[in-house]
Chain A
Amino acid sequence: MILEIVIPKYLYLYLIFAAKQVQMRISEIENHLSKFRVGIAGAGGLGSNCAAALTRCGIGTLVISDFDIVDSGNLSRQFYFINQVGMDKTSALKENLTHINPEINIIAQQVKLNETNIPVIYAGCDVIVEAFDRADMKEMIIKAVQKSMPGIPLIVGSGLAGWGNANKIRSRKIDDTLYVCGDELSEISEELPPMAPRVGIVAYMQADAVVEILMKNI
């Protein structure tokens, strides 16, 4: 009888203690991540969802660029809402991210990125996330960052179309400056459109790679 009373009481106290410890650890992590600036190149399926994850993690500054406007078709997988159709993506995303955390500093620019403006727009970023749609644009930013921003890690997304085989999606470190998330196999086509689950997995995997890099960065 005594045990039955004593154990739950200690368990209860322990759980309160553990919950406080977890909250302290989260504050500590958020405090660390708030010191960094992360670039996101593209605000479509990968960029908008990755930005949401990084905002929730407590990243201090996000630099986001995209030339596009929100289309109703984007709502199937991108972090926008129906009342934002017609808005430019970077303004719409800034609005949504601010609803998660009003403290976050967002530098949003409606611009078409190229090899020349990337090193200027993303200057000062600790990590850059590649979130373009087209494979040739992915190639372009890899060249630009590797050539003009030596030492800055770039997280590329490649291979996310369709559905199923989610376990084939992985994060692969090439070296300290280049990571790739995706299955490197599934290309979008009319038969194989991008869909929310796999796009989201890759976007969140990219965000996780960013956090992993920044947590090591003391």
Chain B
Amino acid sequence: MKIILNNTEEELTVENMSVSDMLKYKKFSFRMRIIKINGELIPKEKYDSTIIHDGDNVQMIYLMSGG
């Protein structure tokens, strides 16, 4: 399936994967992040149950300490 990941089109070999699966698949390992799918904020507790579909717009922000 094709998704938009941080404004870039990404071709994923697996269809309808959960947010947790996508993080593993993409090897994203940052501890603190915010994920929005089609503009909706996805809480951490819902990473396993939220499914990313073809055409979804996935936005990820990495949160780094310091300020």
| Residue from A184, A187, A199 in contact with B61 in the complex, judged by beta carbons closer than 8 Å | A184
Would you call A201 an interface residue if the criterion is a C-beta within 8 Å of the partner chain's C-beta atoms? no
Closest to B59 in A: A174
Shortest CB-to-CB span from B31 to chain A, Å, is 7
A45 partner, pick from B41, B64, B67, beta carbons under 8 A: B67
B64 and A185 within 8 A (CB)? yes
For residue A52, CB closer than 8 A to chain B, the reply is: no
A184 to B66, CA, bound (A): 11
Q: Is the interface of B mostly helix, strand, loop or mixed?
A: loop
Chain A residues with Cβ under 8 A from B43's Cβ?
Answer: 143
- Which residues of chain B come closer than 8 Å to A47, judged between CB atoms? 67
Which residue of the partner chain B has the closest CB to A194? B66
- Number of chain B residues close to chain A: CB under 8 A: 15
Q: Report Cα–Cα, A113/B48, bound state, in Å.
A: 30
Cβ of A180 and Cβ of B61 under 8 Å apart?
yes
* B 24-35 to A, binary, CB cutoff 8 A, 1 in contact else 0: 000000011010
Considering the complex, give the chain A residue whose CB is closest to the CB of B44. Answer: A139
Interface residue B46 (Cβ < 8 Å from any Cβ of A):
no
Interface size range of chain A in the complex = 35 or more
The 8 Å CB contact of A158, one of B36, B39, B64, is: B64
Closest chain B residue, CB of each to CB of A202: B67
Chain A residues positioned under 8 Å from B67 (CB to CB): 42, 44-47, 130-133, 138, 157, 160, 194, 199
Give Cα distance in the complex from A82 to B43, angstroms: 42
Bound-state Cα–Cα, A158 to B60, Å: 12
A139 lies within 8 A of B34 (CB):
yes
| With A159-B64, A175-B59, A186-B64: A142-B34 Cβ-Cβ less than 8 Å | yes
Determine if B14 is an interface residue (Cβ-Cβ < 8 Å).
Answer: no
Complex Cα gap A45–B31 (Å): 23
A135–B61 touching, CB < 8 Å: no
Could you give 19 example pairs across A and B, Cβ below 8 Å?
Answer: A45-B67, A46-B67, A131-B67, A133-B67, A136-B32, A139-B34, A139-B63, A146-B41, A158-B64, A159-B62, A175-B36, A178-B61, A180-B61, A184-B62, A185-B62, A185-B64, A186-B64, A188-B65, A194-B66
Which positions in A face B, CB cutoff 8 Å? Answer: 42, 44-47, 130-136, 138-139, 142-143, 146-147, 156-161, 174-175, 178, 180, 182, 184-188, 194, 199
* Chain B interface (Cβ < 8 Å from any Cβ of A): 31-32, 34, 36, 39, 41, 43, 59, 61-67
Known: A158-B61, A178-B59. 14 other contacts (CB 8 A): A42-B67, A45-B67, A133-B67, A135-B31, A135-B65, A138-B32, A138-B63, A142-B34, A142-B41, A143-B43, A161-B66, A174-B59, A178-B36, A184-B61
